[in-house]
Amino acid sequence: MIIHDEQNRLFTLRTRNTVYQMKVDCYKVLLHTYYGSYIESGDLSRLIRCADYSFSPNPNEAGMDRTYSLDVMPQEYSTCGVGDFRLPSIELELPNGSRSADLRYLGYDLQKGKYTLPGLPAFYGTEEEAETLVIHMEDAAAGVAVELYFGVFEELDLITRAVKVVNKGNEPVRLCRCASLCLDFLRCDMDFITFNGHHLMERCLERGPLRSGIQSVGSIRGASSHQHNPFVMLCDRNTDEDTGLCYGAMLLYSGNFEAAVECSQYESSRLVMGIHPSHFCWTLAHGEAFTSPEAALVCSSEGFGQMSRQFHRSIIKHLLREPYAHKRKPVLINNWEATYFDFTTDKLVDIAKEAAKMGMELFVMDDGWFGSRNDDNSGLGDWWVNEEKLPGGLEKLVSRINDAGMVFGIWVEPEMVNENSNLYREHPDWVLRIPGRNPARGRGQLVLDFSRKEIRDYIYGQLQAVFSSVPIAYIKWDMNRSLTDVWSAALPAQRQGEVYHRYVLGVYDLLERIRRDYPQILIEGCCGGGGRFDGGMLYYTPQIWCSDDSDAIDRLRIQYGTSFCYPPCTMGAHVSAVPNEQNGRITPLKTRGIVAMSGAFGYEMDLGKCTEEEKDEIRRQVECYKEHYELICRGDYYRLSNPFGEDLFTAWEHVAEDKREALVSAVAGSRRPASPFVRLRLKGLSPSLEYCINGEEEVYSGSTLMHAGYLLPAIKEDYQSIQLYLKAK
């Protein structure tokens, strides 16, 4: 609910459990007065105190009043160059060469339903589900208008933010920074939580106290990156899974980003999040506009768990767009770790036949099917079937796959090109390359300039021919290197600061075309695994390969960190062979299945090498996933332990919305001498209901399981696992 108090020039955004408030002050500065737990109505600007602070200048209209300074006022969208020395949200380079921005309030609009952002991903909502507030600001001297967009999903405690900048002057203006989110706090006694890592170990939680100065994470790699994720949290020092105040902020963007927090000299703090200002500069001619990516906020007074579940519900109901929104996704088998580049039609069909016997439904042909692609160094860009490897082309292969009872999926990497390809030989000028320099390679490949429409059109024409030739149910969209040598032949020198963002917009454009023309196809995103796991990609690819590390024990940590914002149904998770390809670890097949089952489930192994006992176990896993699909993918998710801590088991739980069912999974680490028994306390159950576990006769009340706990079996082997299915009587 959005409430405007005209007399006090107060804007209050109310959700079920939170309140967000802004106020226009006497100088038309838009102040941020409160964001937190639900409170009754009131003007919270009374919490802001003014004083004469040394070296904090005063705006001209304040006259000789030295107690008013932008340097200490909590602002809704911070400015620069005019008295606020903290993190700016916007920076303009004006025609005279000066760099400043001074925004003042003009007016507002209220709308039913959720705003949209042309060419950019955004949460969506009907008039019954969401409301929109647009606040109009202006820098009169610069001739620049700024529109602040707020989307409010009352039932989900979700507030979204976006910004539109319009040049109303006669001369070009350069936009050097345009954050999507600014959030000021009149305190800095909080912890800053980020999700960091590297290729093969993404989104590991790191927590530390705010300190004086600026702390930040971000990416200048051209993608949101394996190293840092565009989701961060601020919280009370004592906040844990179930108690305490916390704020989650997600940027729906798949390119360079920055999330920075500054703790000021007067113990206030500011979070600014948006496109990374490094390598960014956007020229606005008269009448032109720039729209920032969307940011999303959730505040919880009941710890991290409640915040995560609100993000999960919001993403599932109002961000994902997929053909399986109202039905079960198929269980897949991917041939990559079974064959790599060395395969034939017969070999692929044999894998599909074995998979079908075990209940799998989707066969995915990975890298190596096109052009001259027999290794990493050739073929990218030539998206036509290699009929020497696959005689009769896709038509013959897919027909045989379908006859085996499987639907068909295919791997592509459209953003890249190898020098050993027909495309590169014909169009060497289509790659990102700085004049006079030889470009760097990554994985033996170069990057196509997706900021250029003619290149995207060419690639789409090739993909369209493939996707229309046979029935395709699934696409794996990969991206296997960071961007370097970022320069576009299509833009003049003064606009090269636009290339990174135009590249991301180009990726979104091509994905949207595929979604439009092939709505029945499920697209899974991938960037060397989890290098582009963000809300922006989820809008186009409703599941993303979580990590190239498929080891079950490593995945406990990766999927744990990912779950703080992103729901399990978005995490591509496969059972692979042992010893694991990435680290050589040997884990039981049952454990590998239980871990992968808490995501978008599939297999990536040579099934022909499995024993009959292993095949029986795989059948049981597939049947279990199908039986509990709605619970796993649509239920509420609870983290029961921390895989980064000292717990003997890593445990998690899926609970049905009506609380009548739950699925509990637990995986032990290495066996220790004289290990104690573990009493696992469950969460999210109804205290008054009685539950039977795994069909046994004994029943337990929900209150008993949540407060007294359930005794897990003794640890008898490394990486032992257990799964408990609870059903109310």
Find out whether 290 and 284 touch, Cβ atoms under 8 Å: yes
Phi, psi of 631, deg, nearest 5: -65, -45
Chain center to CA of 625: 24
Axis-axis angle for helices 393-403, 345-357 (nearest 10): 20
Please, are residues 376 and 384 in contact by the beta-carbon 8 Å criterion? no
| 3 backbone φψ class: left, alpha, beta (φ>0; ψ -120 to 50) | beta
Give the helix ranges, DSSP H, for 123-190. Answer: none
Q: How far apart are CA 644 and CA 655, in angstroms?
A: 23
**Among 456, 559, 548, 455, CA closest to 509:** 456
Q: Strand, helix or coil at 352?
A: helix
* CA dihedral sign of residues 448, 454, 458, 460: positive
CA torsion through residues 380, 384, 390, 396, sign:
positive
Strand, coil or helix: 142: coil
Six-digit token string for 264: 């000021």
* Residue 22 near residue 11 (C-beta atoms within 8 A): yes
Cis before 579? omega within 30? yes
Among residues 43, 509, 614, 718, the one annotated as catalytic is: 614
SS3 247: strand
**Partners of 52 in beta bridges:** none
Q: Is 11 helix (H, G, I), strand (E, B) or coil?
A: strand
Angle at 224 between CA 219 and CA 226, to 5 degrees: 85
Which position among 202, 262, 534, 548 bears the catalytic label?
A: 534
Integer Cα distance of 321 and 456 in angstroms = 22
Which amino acid is residue 438, in one-letter code?
A: N
Widest pairwise Cα distance in the chain:
86
CA-based Rg of the chain, rounded to a whole angstrom? 27
Give CA–CA dist 468/465, Å, rounded: 5
Closest CA to 318 of 147, 535, 118: 535
User: Does residue 76 have an active-site annotation?
Assistant: no
Task: Locate 370 and state its tokens.
Answer: 């096109």
Say if residues 493 and 440 touch (Cβ distance below 8 Å): no
* Three-state secondary-structure class, residue 703: helix
Report the run of H or E that residue 614 belongs to, with start and end. Answer: helix 612-627
Question: Which positions ≥6 away from 45 have C-beta within 8 Å?
Answer: 10, 23, 25, 31, 33
CA distance 78 to 721: 50
Report residue 106 as tokens: 């003009």
Handedness of CA 510, 226, 552, 693 (dihedral sign): negative
Helix (H/G/I), strand (E/B), else coil: 478: coil
Report how far residue 123's alpha carbon sits from residue 36's, in angstroms, rounded to the nearest whole number.
21
- Of 485, 477, 576, 551, nearest to 521 by C-alpha is 477
Dihedral sign for Cα 249, 88, 204, 572, please: positive
What is the side-by-side strand order in the sheet with 2-5?
Answer: 2-5, 10-14, 18-24, 30-37
202: CB partners within 8 A, 6+ apart: 195, 226, 229, 529, 530, 531, 533, 546, 547, 558, 561, 562
Verify whether residue 498 is a known catalytic residue. no
| Residues assigned a catalytic role | 534, 614
